[in-house]
Amino acid sequence: MRWVIPFLLVLLFLLTLIWLPRQAQQMEASERLEQLIADSLWVEQAIRFQLSRDDESMRIIGREIIVGHLHKDQFRARLNALLRNNREFYRVTWLNPEGKPVASTDDFPISRADLSDASRMTEERARASRRPLYSSPAVPPGIAEPSLMDYHVPLYRDNVYIGSLVASYAVARILNEMVPWWFAQDNEIALTDTDDNVVARRTAGGPGLNVYTHRRELELPGLTLVLHTNSTKSAPKLLPNLLVGSVIVLSLGLLWSLWALWRDINRRTKAEDALLNEVSFRSAMENSLVTGMRARDLQGRITYVNPAFCKMVGIAADQLVGKIPPMPYWAPEAMDEYQERFSNVLAGRVTPQFETIFQRIDGTRFPVLIFESPLVDQNGKQTGWMGSILDVSEQKRAEDLNRTQEEKLQASARLASMGEIASTLAHELNQPLAAISSYTTGALNMMQNGRAEPAALQPALEKIHAQAQRAGHVIRSVHQFVKKREPARQPLQIKALVENVSALIELQAQPFFVVFQTQIAPRLPTVLGDQVLLEQVILNLTRNGIQAMAAVPPQRRILRIVAELDRSLATAEAVVVSIIDQGHGIADDVAARLFSPFFSTKAEGMGMGLNICRTTIEFHGGTLTYTNNPAGGTIFRFSLPAQGNTY
């Protein structure tokens, strides 16, 4: 192994000496080809730019002819300066509408008949399209001239053809004049048509070696030429690259040392930048929070507060950091509570979530919700406590407003319920009042007839008293149900709740001929709740059940209230009350929005009854649900947490 490893290292070194020069040779070849392509693109753009300038010059001369500013005797003098500066032009001829020469820069003007076939066809197309076009390069017939490319500019005055300008380019001059000498020395340049027929060639530096070549199309109006470049450079030699490779190999040691140093510096810089970015990000995040943040050490000393907490209490951060209790934002009336919580902090016992009161620097109090958890460092060791403080003033105001609105809705619902049973209530009161009147009349008659002994009047007076008690009970039930008061929770018996509203339920059931039945399990535990609110829930649910049976056969109009104890819950027992009807049931499309506010299937309904019922039951810590009655109809069922007492 002592010899194998050095041998492998030497072999690797030799392979590197061979591979690097070849790689350098390929890279040099690629660079030459890329340079040729870039230079070819530059040459193509230079040719295109010069032709664009020539086109603009021809258009200007054409406009001068159209408006009459340039006459034929001025034409040659006007064009000579252009031809001296742009030697790619062979001549420029002004032809009249019949194709006869009007003026020319040449001593021997040509007519349309002297043009090549391709040029005449281009002239016709330019006149038809009313835009300048280039003709394909060709040698004019019968004249020993170089290959010419004619540029036809049709002239129109008020939509009347008045002739054309024919700018003839010597194609060879395009390469000679527009291609830079430094590019021509290293490359063979040729212009061909799309069929690869050579139109012009320039070989100032000699013929190309076909090692590095490039082909690029030159798009002109009406004509497409192809610019071919063929470098006169040969492929790169291997021997110089061997020397370069040796130098590179000998420099690897130094480069590796520099690279290692650079890597360490770069790693350190990246770590510092990452730490700075992390600190900046965390600071920006903490400063943008609307939640107050407060950190305390194990001794209760404040170590950090964010701007939201400072804004909340109105005290600057430098006045809070390092502060130990009592804190300036503690309210004097809650000082005992703060001291007790601070003692728990020192003992390592922190309440994760609690509500309390803070005071601002101006003395105003506001409620806060505090979440506190241990503050742990990177080693897993607790160094203090971190708290999040929320100002819940708006939440408290919203809860108070919501509770007030709920109370108003409940009172409105009770009044609406009384409105629905008003006629039945009048009938119910009319009966005891009529009986009282009848018994009173009988007693008076007995007194007038001289039979007013106590023994004879006593039965009538007892019946009058019973009927008056009956009427008073009805009046008290209605008054107790509709009067507005603050909710008050107290231990209640479900049986007593049902009996209190039984008279009102029977009043609603009489017009629909509905039989009302109750089934209350014995020894049910009490529930903690508001009597009037729970009675309203029972009355609303029974009224819905009664109205749902309005269209069913009379023998099915039975409304039942069943109360029983549910021990299936894992946390505590509950008293479950079921209101069972045998009505039309609830359709699927109605079920999806059954408890939504302001949704009702009744034309006169407000759509708040079931929503108020669910809100009331949830306010008491219970749930309100419904299921389909297997015997037809619906079962509404609400549960309330059971208390310890049973009756």
Instruction: Give pLDDT, residue 394.
Output: 77
Question: pLDDT category, 427, cuts 50, 70, 90?
Answer: very low
Residues 520 and 375 in one domain: no
Q: Which residue is it, tokens 């039984």?
A: 502
Q: What percent of the chain has pLDDT over 90?
A: 19
**4 in a structural domain:** no
Question: pLDDT category, 336, cuts 50, 70, 90?
Answer: confident
Domain containing 589 equals 488-647
Instruction: Give pLDDT, residue 519.
Output: 93
* Greater pLDDT, 437 or 626: 626
pLDDT digits (tens, 9 = 90+) for 343-400: 877 777 777 788 888 888 888 888 888 888 888 888 888 888 888 888 887 777 777 6
Q: Name 105's Cβ contacts closer than 8 Å, sequence gap at least 6.
A: 75, 76, 79, 80, 83, 89, 91, 92, 93
CATH of the domain at 537: 3.30.565.10
Residues 506 and 552 in one domain: yes
Task: Give backbone dihedrals phi and psi of 361, rounded to 5 degrees, phi first.
Answer: -65, -25
How far, in Å, are 44, 189, 201, 397 from residue 207 at the CA level?
Answer: 20, 9, 10, 94
Residues 144 and 164 in one domain: yes
Instruction: Select from 394, 388, 329 the least CA-distant residue to 364.
Output: 329
CB 369, CB 377: distance < 8 Å = no
Give the end of a domain, one of 236, 255, 270. 236
Q: How far is CA 291 from the centre of its chain?
A: 24
Average pLDDT (273-279) is 84
455, with CB counted inside 10 A (0-12, 13-18, 19+), is: exposed
* Greater pLDDT, 646 or 580: 580
pLDDT digits (tens, 9 = 90+) for 312-324: 888 888 888 888 8
**9 in a structural domain:** no
Question: pLDDT category, 607, cuts 50, 70, 90?
Answer: very low
**52 in a structural domain:** yes
Residues 356 and 433 in one domain: no
pLDDT at 499 over 60: yes
Give the end of a domain, one of 220, 236, 252. 236
Strand partners, 376: 382
CATH of the domain at 452: 1.20.5
Strand partners, 385: 296, 374
**629 in a structural domain:** yes
| Mean pLDDT taken over the chain | 80
C-alpha to C-alpha distance for 400 and 48, rounded to whole angstroms = 80
| The two structure tokens encoding residue 577 | 């009350």
**468 in a structural domain:** yes
Under DSSP, the state recorded for 510 is G
Residues 520 and 371 in one domain: no
Domain count along the chain: 4
* Greater pLDDT, 320 or 23: 320
**11 in a structural domain:** no
Residues 482 and 496 in one domain: no
Torsion sign, CA atoms 310, 313, 319, 320: negative
Q: How far is CA 244 from the centre of its chain?
A: 58
Residues 453 and 546 in one domain: no
Average pLDDT (99-116) is 89
* Greater pLDDT, 221 or 326: 221
Give the lowest-confidence range in 239-248, 466-475, 551-560, 611-620.
239-248
Residues 514 and 431 in one domain: no
| The two structure tokens encoding residue 206 | 């000699």
**253 in a structural domain:** no
Q: Name 12's Cβ contacts closer than 8 Å, sequence gap at least 6.
A: none
Give the end of a domain, one of 463, 486, 509. 486
**306 in a structural domain:** yes
Q: In what order do the strands lie in the sheet with 292-297?
A: 302-305, 292-297, 382-391, 365-376, 353-359
Residues 37 and 183 in one domain: yes
Residues 314 and 434 in one domain: no
pLDDT at 556 over 80: yes
C-alpha to C-alpha distance for 485 and 63, rounded to whole angstroms = 97
Question: Global pTM?
Answer: 0.38
pLDDT digits (tens, 9 = 90+) for 36-70: 889 889 998 999 999 999 999 999 999 999 998 88
CATH of the domain at 134: 3.30.450.20
Q: Is the peptide bond before 326 cis (omega within 30 degrees of 0)?
A: yes
C-alpha to C-alpha distance for 246 and 472, rounded to whole angstroms = 120
Residues 82 and 171 in one domain: yes
Residues 503 and 625 in one domain: yes
| The two structure tokens encoding residue 254 | 């130094």
- Alpha-carbon dihedral of residues 492, 496, 500, 501, nearest 10 degrees? 90
Instruction: Give pLDDT, residue 333.
Output: 80
Task: Give backbone dihedrals phi and psi of 166, rounded to 5 degrees, phi first.
Answer: -120, 110
pLDDT digits (tens, 9 = 90+) for 540-551: 899 888 988 988
